[in-house]
Chain A
């Protein structure tokens, strides 16, 4: 009991700060990744041969870019694009400095998950709406995105979880977060309790995100 009290007294503020940092990093980069990833996913579906806006060059180009970005491990990406990060947000350290690499890491991933979610939608439904004389823009919103919603939610759940994993490396540029806490205090300073506590929080976090995602997807599915 005593040990628990001293632990909470000593570490709770630090852990709390790390949780907030993690939430900030995940929240902000997820927001921008969705903003880029979803349209990019729609683009590679619609420009694909045989689709409404088929365009070989655009399709292959966006595919190439997505594949290149997805090939680079996050830890390398973090340093590789330092000049770009500096150009975009004016700094390369702290939470601000890690958002850019996190977005560049996550957006292509979301785009790919979006692609597979949208491809699951039966082409026949799109065709039926085209046959009714409905505009492509409306079809994207009211058919493609609507029907893909359950898969999109599941895809976003997966990307959020992998985003949390990536933030662990954000400590490298001084952005903090739970991963950084576990590494610096838990591993480097042998504060085993801190390590356990952090890992526990991460497990609860991932578990709840996945459950919420699953439940939301199931509710939208209507099967």
Chain B
């Protein structure tokens, strides 16, 4: 559905050439939700703007539904853009138009007749749950409601793809959740493919099938959401994971605990999450697991559990216990203290 092939984007500024995006590849299949996460300045905003060519990549090609859009002449590009909706952090609604007109005006400009415009506005206002607000102006709405209008505006073109440029970053946590639920609903019920960028890990956690971690213009790690949450490899990915769960103990504490046993992080996914494995190793290997920290993360496609344990017992037995856990599908990561 969306293929970005070796995309690079350079900006010329007074201080020289800035490479915002370097050689990035993205492939979103129909009906999936992919997320790009990164700190501000990582190049993710430039990247998403390359998808509908609001930003022309310096190098690389963009394919939408198999059509290479990077080489399309403007009238054909406009047609292609009709099939790509976009929502923004700042909502970007007309301040001087009612909610109804904010959705109706673009449709009129795209040449739909009055009847069709009316049908679509009403349909999508209902989907976003704002039917009773159609006569209000944007300034009379809350942030979440404004974003719903923006979503209705994007959906009213009946696009196949929705791009979300930090759509929830200006919203409070509760409103963020309701907007994310709406995006999930759109994805499921209308089958719209979504590519979003964000700096919030909970957005990724809640709705993404596949994740790209961006830093300094590069994708430093990418994986499906469950893999990324269970086996993060890049330090930046780990930092982002720490934002939603306290995964790290202080190294001083770890060093202290190392005197009496090993400190290990266990990651449970899918089946292994359902078994009483800690009780089992305690009996089988005569080791004493002490739980230091634990959390559970609900992803779109599954559940990931994290437990940090302090394992005491005979060294051979401890190692055998860890091997046993690994055989049962538990992720093992030894935490080292200060050396």
Contact = CB atoms under 8 A, between A and B. Distances in A.
Interface of A: 122, 124-125, 127-135, 138, 142-143, 146-147, 149-150, 220-223
A218 B157 CA distance: 32
Given A133-B78, A146-B97, 6 more contacts: A125-B93, A128-B153, A132-B85, A133-B80, A135-B109, A146-B94
Contacts of B97: 146
Contact of B96 (A130, A132, A134, A222): A222
Interface of B: 52, 54, 77-82, 84-86, 88, 90, 92-97, 105-106, 109-110, 137, 139, 150, 153-154, 157, 163
21 contacts: A125-B94, A127-B88, A127-B92, A130-B54, A130-B81, A131-B52, A131-B54, A132-B85, A132-B106, A133-B78, A133-B110, A134-B106, A135-B78, A135-B109, A143-B94, A146-B94, A146-B96, A149-B96, A222-B96, A222-B139, A223-B137
A122 B84 contact: no
Contacts of B54: 127, 130-131
A138 B97 CA distance: 16
Given A124-B90, A142-B109, A222-B137, A133 B82 contact: yes
A134 B92 CA distance: 15
Given A133-B81, A135-B78, A223-B139, A124 B92 contact: yes
Interface secondary structure of A, over-half rule: helix
Contacts, number: 68
A138 B153 CA distance: 17
A223 B138 CA distance: 8
A128 to B, nearest CB: 4
A128 B92 contact: yes
Contacts of B93: 125
Contacts of A221: 96
A104 to B, nearest CB: 32
A147 B79 contact: no
A154 to B, nearest CB: 14
B81 A222 contact: no
A132 B82 contact: yes
Nearest to A138: B109
A127 B94 CA distance: 12
